[in-house]
Amino acid sequence: MRLIDISPPVDEGIAVWPGDVPYTRRSTQSLAEGDTVELSAITTTLHLGAHADAPSHYALGGASIAERPLAHYYGPCEVVAVGLPAGERIRPEHLPSLPAAPRVLFRTGSYPDPTRFERDFNSLSPELIEALAARGCVLVGIDTPSVDPCDDKVLETHQALARHDVANLEGLVLAH
């Protein structure tokens, strides 16, 4: 199996969801100050960079990430490039055919700079999740901060993921 890093660098420059806790790193011991080791602590939201949303993040009574099957998150996958206008949801009809792979990652190019939060990124439609789940898909991923639109308070796509026990990845780097 070939492994490919699809995560952005996580440092002080990475953007976070508006109102969320930004990334900060504080040195607690320093070689430059005579300590025998370099140690530091970080403070940040868990919802930054490339990440998996646990069902407990969006569904009352949903599983924690520790309860999720690890097998959902690794294995054969297909990367699907989709070019849509800003802010639009990817629907089944936007694809030439539905991917058959058990894991599908969507490259939209609509969130190209992880250091600058943009609100009009592409997202996934609940109808797409329904169609993929019917084909046995266990994971979907996207190169944007969320599978739902930025201002969506209902989180229809997250709820479709919960109904079908489909795992998700957000904030991926798929340009390569």
DSSP sequence for 96-149: SS---SSEEEEE--S---TTS--S---EE-HHHHHHHHHTT--EEEESSS-SS-
Q: Considering Cα of 11, then 12, then 13, then 17, what sign does the dihedral take?
A: positive
Catalytic residue check, 158: no
Out of 57, 72, 94, 164, which one is annotated catalytic? 57
Q: Is the dihedral of CA 94, 166, 149, 172 positive or negative?
A: negative
Q: Which residues are catalytic?
A: 57
